[in-house]
Amino acid sequence: MSRRRKKFQLENITIEKYAAEGKSIAYWEDKVVFVQGAIPGDVVNAYVFKNKKDWAEARINEVVEPSDLRQEPFCKHFELCGGCKWQMLAYEQQVIYKEQQVKDQLQRLGNVAVEKFLPIIPCAEDRLYRNKMEFTFSNKRYLGPDDMKAMLPFEKDVLGFHAPKVFDKIIDIDTCHLQAEPTNAIKNFVRKFAQENDYPFYDIRQHTGLMRNLIIRMNQKGEALVNVVFAKNETEKIKTLCSALQNEFDQIVSLHYTVNQKLNDTIYDQNVVAFSGEKHITETLGTTTFKISPKSFFQTNSKQAEVLYNVVKDFVGNADTLYDLYCGTGSIGLYLANQCKKLIGVETVEDAIVDAKENAENNDIQHAHFYAGDVIKVCTSAFFKEHGKADCIIVDPPRAGMHPSLVEKLKEIAAPRIVYVSCNPATQARDVKELSSIYAIKKSRAVDMFPQTHHIENVLLLELT
């Protein structure tokens, strides 16, 4: 096979080890091949779709000999849906690979010296763990290989998830194992009601149709908040569907609808209308209660969020002045409020800060202060001078990590401790490498928030040297 070929098939290659981001490694001649959907021990035929000088990327065409680690996926949508890519791998092994990923990213790729790695904390429940799901309506369904062979039509009203890397077709989902009931019952009821009553499903190319999205939030008490998103303000149809939904499910204690006429699905700049019940549901983590409204930012796994926050709590210790940067609705800071005399939270999204202030008031936490704005613009020297010298700074940035200017500002502020919470160990390693010029990385602990996926949360404790 010529190395110049951009696309070709490799046959009977053995998967040697796990890499990161859900990929595994095989070797072909003197080249590293990153293979999607494979696990160590598999012998596979793989289609190479990206071929560089020293490495290539491929996806499985056929598992010739399955690894001893491979198991039967529990979801019938596994082959098509890109949500739970590791169902073919026993959960105990998933945790091992996630822990390995964190160590590799920090030590090997980031060249970061960590004094102590604490054991990863697995999730007690490896399914039905999410508190929020968002489904999409479409008049075009995604067809798998068997459907294509049967020459089934694309035109069908469906409700489910976007197919991986396909923006205009939706996988019709019957049962999803990520969120507890009545989520599937609600989803299937709404789809059937809309189909039987001729409510047109959305066409993302033509921007036509009525039914657009369905968002379901659940708390640990089994109460549901539902937001049905429509593409047009057809008042009678909206009211008819919402009334039917409310009458069918006692578990829905907060029912809303949104009319989104924009070209994208984001509703954070849209008006959410309360149809019936409460305007929000509440969730309790430890002794702290949080209001969750239709547009709230909140940790997706409620039970494991408490586990994560306890790790942060342990790393933070006591602090007179605690800063919580990228604070969202203030959940981490408020959970730790009894460990500090002053809490300062900063978050870009204004709606999240509104929720944070209300959560502080509802929990009678009077020493918490929250500010909305771009973190790198708000966190100036004058801001830190005004609110007091930091004893500890918590940072929980998005997957892209911290802005370089914030990293420099943290070095300038030189707080005694930084606790860095990350959903992306690669960018965490990059940022911490810069901070390591004045900080020692004392502890690292991974917490699995998302079983059946390669995603992992990691917490680092940095102490000023």
Catalytic residue positions, numbered: 423
Cα dist from 338 to 323, 334, 436, 462, whole Å: 14, 8, 29, 21
Place of tokens 């700049």: 269
| Per-residue tokens: 328 | 């969202």
Peptide bond into 182 cis (omega under 30): yes
Whole-number Å distance between alpha carbons of 329 and 351: 8
Place of tokens 């940790």: 299
Nearest CA to 13 out of 23, 1, 3, 27 is that of 27
Contacts of 246 (CB under 8 A, 6+ apart): 252, 255, 275, 276, 277
Read off the amino acid at residue 193.
F
Q: What angle do CA 350, 351, 355 make, to 5 degrees?
A: 115
| Per-residue tokens: 446 | 């991974």
Whole-number Å distance between alpha carbons of 314 and 392: 12
* Positive/negative CA dihedral, 299, 301, 302, 304: negative
Helices 404-413, 425-435: crossing angle, 10 deg rounding: 40
Task: Map residue 309 onto helix, strand or coil.
Answer: helix
Place of tokens 């799901």: 133
| Per-residue tokens: 280 | 């929000």
Q: What angle do CA 326, 329, 331 make, to 5 degrees?
A: 90
Whole-number Å distance between alpha carbons of 337 and 319: 10
**Inter-residue contact 305 to 285 (CB < 8 Å):** yes
Task: Map residue 99 onto helix, strand or coil.
Answer: helix
| Per-residue tokens: 123 | 């999730």
Nearest CA to 442 out of 315, 342, 324, 354 is that of 315
